[in-house]
């Protein structure tokens, strides 16, 4: 599998890059962005933070709006930002913003017509890291973070694969997708009507099944318009309390669901991950 460099821009003495490749898992061309700190030009390997974006986003939203590169450069961490879904004329789509292209929900679809391409779980967990570790100066030390739908993705992926990550964090995650409109629509379409299949991608369920515990940080804006109907952090708090899972949930007065919120607290999240990613470097 080969990478094609689309663009490379100097940023905080490092490089903000965009790549394309053919994904065998998703059976389509995929694009992702990477920030490489300046030290990556030397003969060293650096830990990686995977960022998963939310509904309607591509690999460009976080790289252009979050302002994460300055701190990543200082800490010596590579940022990898995949797209949120398979894309292309051959890939099934939906008229709604919350299903289809731009809304992969980080699951492996089992239902037609989605199953041919929508396997974002396998892409993020296996294919993309293998590609990154084969072609870029990174180590096998990984952390994962995301926003909204991507926060759901980061939490569920980490809970199902604790040995692959040092830590996980999320901004405004969809905590209980089995019980919110976004999740019910997406999980029903991708996985079918049997809700036992949905449980494999619901943080509140997976937390109760976890055999290992990872450090978790969650940031939530109190003025988020999706807070009550879609995000349901109280369900996450209840699930964590029931099994004594040490989740750190911080509420921030006045903040909403936007990238202004992410930009305001991304340094905290990067330092949270760096403490663990760099502990044994």
Query: Active-site positions?
Result: 148, 224, 257
Helices within the chain (DSSP H only): 60-65, 69-75, 120-122, 128-135, 149-160, 181-191, 195-198, 203-209, 233-243, 259-277
| Distance (Å, whole) CA 123 – CA 87 | 13
Non-local (6+) Cβ contacts of 20 within 8 A are 3, 4, 6, 29, 30, 31
Question: Would strands 216-221 and 28-36 be described as parallel, antiparallel, or unpaired?
Answer: unpaired
- Reading the block at residue 227, the tokens are 């807070």
| Distance (Å, whole) CA 264 – CA 65 | 11
**Burial annotation 25-46 (CB, 10 A radius, 16+ → b, else e):** bbebebbbbbbbbeebeeeebb
Helix, strand, or coil (residue 158): helix
Burial class (CB in 10 A: 0-12, 13-18, 19+), 138: buried
Non-local (6+) Cβ contacts of 244 within 8 A are none
């Amino acid at each position: 599998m080969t990478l094609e460099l689309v663009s490379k821009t100097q940023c905080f003495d490092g490089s903000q890059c965009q790549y394309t490749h053919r994904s065998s898992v998703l059976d389509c061309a995929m694009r992702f962005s990477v920030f490489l700190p300046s030290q990556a030009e030397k003969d060293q390997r650096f830990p990686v933070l995977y960022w998963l974006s939310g509904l309607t986003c591509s690999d460009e939203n976080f790289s252009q709006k979050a302002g994460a590169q300055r701190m990543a450069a200082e800490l010596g961490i590579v940022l990898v930002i995949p797209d949120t879904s398979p894309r292309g004329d051959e890939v099934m789509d939906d008229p709604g913003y919350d299903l289809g292209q731009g809304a992969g929900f980080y699951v492996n679809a089992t239902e037609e017509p989605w199953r041919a391409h929508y396997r974002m779980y396998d892409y993020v967990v296996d294919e993309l890291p293998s590609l990154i570790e084969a072609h870029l100066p990174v180590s096998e030390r990984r952390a994962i973070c995301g926003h909204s739908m991507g926060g759901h993705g980061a939490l569920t992926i980490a809970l199902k694969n604790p040995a692959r990550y040092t830590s996980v964090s999320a901004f405004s995650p969809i905590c209980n997708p089995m019980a919110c409109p976004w999740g019910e629509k997406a999980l029903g379409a991708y996985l079918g009507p049997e809700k036992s299949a949905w449980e494999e991608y619901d943080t509140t369920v997976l937390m109760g099944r976890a055999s290992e515990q990872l450090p978790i940080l969650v940031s939530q804006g109190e003025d988020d318009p999706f807070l009550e109907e879609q995000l349901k952090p109280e369900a996450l708090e209840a699930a964590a309390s029931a099994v004594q899972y040490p989740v750190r949930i911080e509420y921030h007065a006045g903040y909403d669901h936007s990238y202004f919120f992410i930009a305001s607290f991304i340094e905290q999240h990067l330092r949270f991950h760096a403490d663990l990613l760099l502990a044994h470097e």
